[in-house]
A and B are shown apart, each in its own frame.
Chain A
Amino acid sequence: MGEHVIKLPDVGEGVAEAELVEWQGKVGDLVREDQVLAAVMTDKATVEIPSPVDGEVIWLGADIGDTIAIGSPIVRLQVAGEGNVKEGEAGTAGSPPPTPPAQEDEAAPAFEPAPAKAASQPSMEARSPDDAPKAVVELAPHPRAKERNAPAPAMKVAPRREGERPLASPAVRLRAREAGIDLRQMAGSGPAGRITHEDIDAFLARGAQAPFPAAPGLARNEAVEEIKVVGLRRKIAEKMRIAKSRIPHITYVEEVDVTALEELRATLNKQKGANRPKLTLLPFLMRAMVKAIAEQPQLNALFDDEAGVIHQHGGVHIGIAAQTGNGLVVPVVKHAEARDLWDCAAEVNRLAEAAKAGLATREELTGSTITISSLGALGGIVTTPVINHPEVAIVGVNKIMVRPMWDGTQFVPRKMMNLSSSFDHRVIDGWDAAVFVQRIKTLLETPALIFVEG
């Protein structure tokens, strides 16, 4: 028996540490080579840490949410053979004292209570010396050195191979079948991984997969689940806290008649070549914002409130808040002022794809100077967007709806869209905020203006 230490591998260029976001095993678990043990997250991505060997987990080096330096030991496995730890080297500096490796000392008396051994093999012979003679009778292991070298943990086999049938008595199998439990999903606590009635009790108590709904009817649910806020969620939470606690928001909502814009967009989409991206409303809005910012550059800025300095940027870097499977991310279209309509559209598409696939680079996810927030098709009438700190403005897009509008003589159906925009009231006055939104409204309602130079 030896010990194999798994250290946090280098998970990406220039990353010095990563946050542990998931354990996929616990102490006592038997794992196979290539089985994923943990997941860590960097600014860029989530990386799975597989086990390089078969073995039993005897120590986990961090809690979920901990930040771990590259190269730190994170898991210790007890493995057959030598492992990768030499004796005396076990407790690497900086890590909590791990369970000493079970040392099979052939010269040791057979039933000497060895605390270290007992600790790492709780199911084994952790007996007091008084019990020892009895143990000889009950367990009847012939204390021949050769046999003692095949200690019971070797009997604990790693998880079943694919296709191997779970080991269980007929009564256990029948009970599982009737309860709708697939025994292949279960680990057995018995010898050689045998599944016992107690394992089924535990499985059912966990309610892992309540196979059938309980009797129909309403029931009180007293369950409270604790979910640790880690990874991307934690980053979002932190960001939102800062934004909302530091920035006095002023939110201004205005409706925009996008009938003409939608007509133009439809025409452009119809006539565009195959090599051009399909236009959504976003690139028009981006171009309109670029034009409006040219007149009010103070809105394209980062406010360093601690230093008391506003960094007013020349380049318009527009963050596009996007929902992904993992949560909210904000890929950034850099230098929108230097991109035409089609280029904006293409860049938005590219970034959206990358973000959804989790392939967006750190560069692509940082550096915005102003942000657009859109709930897309879900829309809503009004939102109160939270400013992407330390920016000073965010423009929220609501859903386009056909509404009856009074043209002076009659109601006419018009395609209307609300813009819900928030501003940092410390540095942007309400008046300026309104002027900015009104300017965007004018540009969008008469889209030709977007394309007029000068």
Chain B
Amino acid sequence: MKEISCKLLVIGAGPGGYVCAIRAGQLGIDTVIVEAGKLGGTCLNVGCIPSKALIHAAEEFENVLHAAKGDNALGISVSAPELDFARTIAWKDGIVGRLNSGVAGLLKKAKVKTVQGWATFRDGKTVAVATETGEQVIRAETVVIATGSAPVELPFLPFGGPVISSTEALSLSKVPERLAVVGGGYIGLELGTAFARLGAKVTVVEALPRILAQYDAELTRPVAKRLAALGVEVLAGAKAKGLSNKGDALLVETADGVEKKVAADKVLVTVGRKPVTEGWGLGQIDLDMDKKFIRIDDQCRTSMRGVYAIGDVTGEPMLAHRAMAQGEMVAEIVAGHRRSWDKRAIPAVCFTEPEIVSVGLSPEEAKASGFETKIGLFPFSANGRAMTLQGEDGFVRVVARADNHLVLGVQAVGKGVSELSAAFSLAIEMGARLEDIAGTIHAHPTQSEAFAEAALKTLGRALHA
């Protein structure tokens, strides 16, 4: 097969890779992108998007279920709902499919050539792609590694049979009656909550003393409360040991050291994700590593000239929007623009029930970085819109510098707060002070008012609390 030569080669068409390729194409760079799976990567196919579809379906189902039970404060009653889970999954697949072709269209529009197949480095400028029709060699002046990440497997709970990763959990043919979730991080809790609302008996096994350990207890308390209300059993400080002999239960050592059998039709293992650094010839180009990740500098350059890396393969936080921003930046660097990574905040959203948002520094992090801080918290129980949405649990919390009132971080937990992340990120990226937030008119009645109120509260003059 004839060799392809190009200016820029992107390996991996996840959110980092495809954004990089589209931007490069827009800038007139001759770009090729290689993808072994479907366009859109983990995020679009087996991550962010399908999980949110499933979470939404679960919420709708559960609401109707409650109404049917006569447990509905709004006075709505319906007859008992039924779930055609195959249709739910088909609907989800439809969304994924639309987005797949959307990415393909965008790449085409940007005049990016897409090569389907598994890429392996021969040297820093040459890649061999195993395609359906044979080996395709691609030579490029610049290569961007965007190989992403994959679910971590536990040696004593290898994937297969009843043991599944998040990928399989999004394509089950029916809702499991009993689901054990190993790992109480955001992925396990998002999916665990969804299945609980769809009717599964869910048990979450978390080795650390509490769920969502990367967030502070104040922020996760509404989530824990909601899990309890949904009947999700949380075994904190407990260790998963393996599958029972019959394969119908998870063996767990509880916090008290007691062996326990958790009956389960499926065991979902969500103990984190690892960078994909094998199978594509990393050894051929011998890049410097930062533990298990590829080491990059503030321009996403690796230790080899002309080789960049972006996204999950380069480290935490493993988030699609970080990868996208890196991809965009690298494309512009390749086009000769002066760019470097100077983002002030990467928002993190947890689509649990209720949702959690964290942008910038938490109170502890702010303190640890040596700032005198001021913290203000405004509860949704005092927000009119939250009441009308039956979402009074939760709050918005602002962390600011005491000396100049610069906003260092914003956290929120509550119904639908993921959409507030935009305001939080903008505030931090623009260098807003508390007075800026407080001085901006926030529409009434919306949950966003809680943001302004939290800023006022930090200034010592909240109006509605």
Contact = CB atoms under 8 A, between A and B. Distances in A.
A191 B429 contact: no
Contacts of B182: none
A192 B427 CA distance: 14
Given A140-B439, A170-B430, A192 B406 contact: yes
B340 A177 contact: yes
B405 A178 contact: no
Contact of A167 (B339, B340, B406): B406
Contacts of B436: 191
A192 B404 contact: yes
B218 to A, nearest CB: 27
B393 to A, nearest CB: 31
B316 interface: no
Q: Which of B337, B344, B431 has the most CB of A within 10 A?
A: B431
Given A177-B340, A178-B337, A167 B403 contact: no
A84 interface: no
B342 interface: yes
* Tier of interface size on chain B: 10 to 19
Nearest to B436: A191
Interface string B39-52: 00000000000000
A142 B337 CA distance: 47
Interface in A191-220: 191-194
Nearest to A167: B431
B463 to A, nearest CB: 11
Contacts of A170: 429-430
Nearest to B430: A169
A192 B433 contact: yes
For the residues of B in contact with A, the DSSP-based class is loop
A180 interface: yes
Contacts of A452: none
A212 to B, nearest CB: 11
A142 B461 contact: yes
Interface residues of A, number: 19
Contacts of B439: 140
Interface string B336-352: 01111010100000000
Contacts of A147: 460
B135 interface: no
A192 B405 contact: yes
Nearest to B338: A177
Given A140-B439, A191-B436, A192-B404, A169 B340 contact: no
Given A140-B439, A178-B338, A155 B405 contact: yes
Nearest to B401: A192
Contacts of B435: 191
A178 B333 CA distance: 11
Interface in B407-465: 429-431, 433, 435-436, 439, 460-461
Interface in B320-344: 337-340, 342, 344
Contact of B338 (A167, A180, A190, A194): A180
B404 A169 contact: no
A173 B342 contact: yes
Q: Which of A165, A169, A192 has the most CB of B within 10 A?
A: A192
Contact of B431 (A142, A155, A168, A180): A168
B403 A194 contact: no
A164 to B, nearest CB: 10
A155 B231 CA distance: 50
B433 A169 contact: no
Interface string B100-138: 000000000000000000000000000000000000000
Interface in A219-264: none
A191 B403 contact: no
Contact of B429 (A140, A169, A192): A169
Interface in B146-164: none
B338 A192 contact: no
Given A170-B430, A191-B436, A192-B433, A157 B338 contact: no
A169 B433 CA distance: 12
B258 to A, nearest CB: 50
Interface string B61-93: 000000000000000000000000000000000
Contacts of B339: 177
A194 B436 CA distance: 12
B431 A157 contact: no
A165 B428 CA distance: 13
B338 A169 contact: no
Nearest to A192: B404
Nearest to B344: A165
A372 B322 CA distance: 70
B311 to A, nearest CB: 21
B337 to A, nearest CB: 7
A427 B403 CA distance: 72
20 contacts: A155-B405, A157-B403, A165-B342, A167-B406, A167-B431, A169-B430, A170-B430, A173-B342, A177-B339, A177-B340, A178-B337, A178-B338, A180-B338, A190-B431, A191-B404, A191-B436, A192-B404, A192-B433, A193-B404, A194-B431
Given A140-B439, A157-B404, 12 more contacts: A142-B461, A155-B404, A157-B403, A165-B342, A169-B431, A173-B342, A177-B338, A178-B337, A178-B338, A180-B338, A192-B406, A193-B404
The 4 closest A-B pairs by CB, nearest first: A192-B404, A167-B431, A169-B430, A157-B404
Interface of A: 140, 142, 147, 155, 157, 165, 167-170, 173, 177-178, 180, 190-194
